[in-house]
């Protein structure tokens, strides 16, 4: 019976979301039939659509995993966006300033650097939270704005490609590119990295003492302290892992998609990752599913924009509403469920 209730609630959420989308589209005087058609065509219409969903899901899975680890530990990391950019900066530095290396080693160094720099960008707020109780929500947000501006500064100064007038870094060497998985689409090896990280995070969180400590601290800090589990250590550790994974999302975007640093490489992946973690209930499998789902929503929305001219920002509205409905469903739908005699 519990599953029926879940299923019906989910169906209601999907229905409401569709209705809201329809209302927005009609109110804004776009063509709803065209919108619907292009939305589904974008997602299911071609191999390219499928590949595009996976390409966009890759950074969402990585950053989403990161956010989920932080949330599980009670660290509200809203800063995945900035941490992602820090990872992107790290791989660019590796590409521009380090001597040439064999491909495997080169990419490994970049991954490590991205993890560390992304991690450090989260550890600072983590440290401030654990040591002084400074609200991480605010510091991580501020760090997002700072990181984005740092990218802006770097691509105009030390990382600038001197042969171009545009604020871009030089193109990365071939050894710093992920292999393409499904030529001619953009699907790249970052997806494998993301899935591997999901497995790793699953094992750490569910099977090891490290994950056990993190979860205890997330649920009840005081009980942790009284059991000899250091709240300080675990919050710092969680922020490191969390920022590191978001940093990997940045590495993956450079190595798999853009191949050089420029402004605006993330269309808010770091923010969407928060919703990915929330909808995925902080579970790696849930994160993968919700990352693919939200990615499909975006790919469909892009297709709507191309063919029906509908602004893609409609996805933000819908994502916000989906989260609200999902969180409040038990109380919001209790009346409807009662009428349908579902307990």
**Which residues would be at the binding site for another protein (CB under 8 A)?**
24, 27-30, 76, 78, 128, 132-135, 137-139, 141-143, 145-146, 149-150, 152-153, 156-157, 207-210, 212-213, 215-216, 219-220, 222-223, 225-228, 271, 274-275, 278, 310-311, 313-321, 323-324, 327-328, 330-332
Q: Minimum CB separation from another protein for residue 184, in Å?
A: 30
Instruction: Write down the least CB distance from residue 258 to another protein, Å.
Output: 19
Could you tell me the smallest distance in angstroms from the CB atom of residue 254 to another protein?
Answer: 19
Separation CA 53–CA 300 (nearest Å) = 9
φ, ψ of residue 168 to 5 degrees: the values are -120, 155
Q: Are 87 and 197 in contact (CB under 8 A)?
A: no
Q: Give the residue with the Cβ less far from another protein, 73 or 177.
A: 73
Q: Tell me the two tokens of residue 266.
A: 């993330």
Quick one: 8 or 180, whose CB is closer to another protein? 8
| CB nearer to another protein: pick between 96 and 229 | 229
With b meaning 16 or more CB within 10 Å and e meaning fewer, what string describes 51-67? bbbbbbbbbbbbbbbbb
Smaller CB separation from another protein, 8 or 204: 204
Residue 105 C-beta: closest distance to another protein, Å:
28
Q: Buried b / exposed e across 300-312, counting CB within 10 Å, b at 16+? A: bbbbbbebbebee
Least spacing, CB of residue 69 vs another protein, in Å: 16
- Number of Cα atoms under 13 Å in the Cβ half of residue 69: 34
Which residues are 188's β-sheet partners?
180
d(CA 276, CA 326): 12
Q: Given the complex with another protein, which of 74 and 190 has the nearer CB atom? A: 74
In the complex, least distance from residue 255 CB atom to another protein, rounded to whole angstroms: 24
How far apart (Å, rounded) are the C-alpha atoms in residues 231 and 224?
A: 7
Q: Give the position of tokens 């292009």.
A: 38
Q: CB 133 → another protein: shortest distance, Å?
A: 8
Question: For residue 180, what is the DSSP state?
Answer: B
Q: How many C-beta neighbours within 10 Å does residue 108 have?
A: 12
Beta carbon nearer to another protein, 51 or 301: 301
Considering the complex, state which of residue 33 and residue 320 has its C-beta at the smaller distance from another protein: 320
């Amino acid at each position: 019976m519990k599953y029926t209730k879940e299923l019906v609630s989910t169906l209601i959420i999907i229905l409401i979301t569709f209705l809201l989308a329809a209302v927005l589209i009609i109110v804004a005087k776009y063509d709803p039939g065209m919108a619907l058609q292009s939305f589904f065509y974008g997602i299911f219409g071609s191999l390219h659509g499928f590949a595009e969903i996976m390409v966009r899901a890759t950074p969402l899975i990585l950053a989403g995993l990161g956010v989920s680890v932080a949330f599980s530990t009670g660290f509200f990391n809203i800063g995945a966006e900035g941490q992602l950019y820090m990872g992107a900066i790290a791989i660019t530095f590796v590409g521009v300033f380090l001597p040439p290396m064999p491909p495997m080693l080169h990419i490994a160094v970049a991954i490590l650097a991205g993890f560390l720099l992304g991690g450090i960008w989260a550890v600072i707020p983590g440290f401030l939270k654990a040591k002084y109780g400074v609200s991480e929500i605010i510091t991580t947000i501020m760090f997002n704005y700072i990181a984005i501006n740092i990218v802006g500064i770097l691509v105009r100064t030390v990382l600038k490609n001197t042969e171009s007038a545009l604020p871009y870094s030089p193109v990365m060497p071939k050894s710093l590119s992920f292999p393409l998985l499904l030529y001619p689409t953009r699907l790249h090896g970052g997806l494998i990295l993301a899935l591997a990280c999901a497995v790793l995070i699953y094992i750490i969180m569910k099977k090891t003492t490290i994950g056990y400590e993190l979860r205890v601290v997330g649920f009840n800090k005081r009980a942790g302290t009284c059991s000899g589990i250091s709240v300080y250590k675990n919050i710092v550790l969680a922020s490191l892992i969390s920022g590191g994974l978001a940093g990997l999302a940045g590495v993956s975007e450079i190595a798999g998609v853009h191949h050089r640093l420029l402004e605006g490489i993330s269309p808010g992946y770091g923010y969407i990752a928060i919703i990915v973690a929330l909808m995925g209930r902080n579970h790696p499998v849930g994160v993968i599913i919700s990352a693919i789902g939200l990615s499909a929503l975006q790919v469909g929305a892009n297709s709507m924009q191309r063919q029906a001219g509908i602004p893609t920002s409609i996805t933000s509205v819908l994502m916000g509403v989906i989260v609200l409905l999902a969180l409040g469903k038990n109380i919001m739908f209790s009346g409807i469920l009662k009428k349908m005699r579902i307990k």
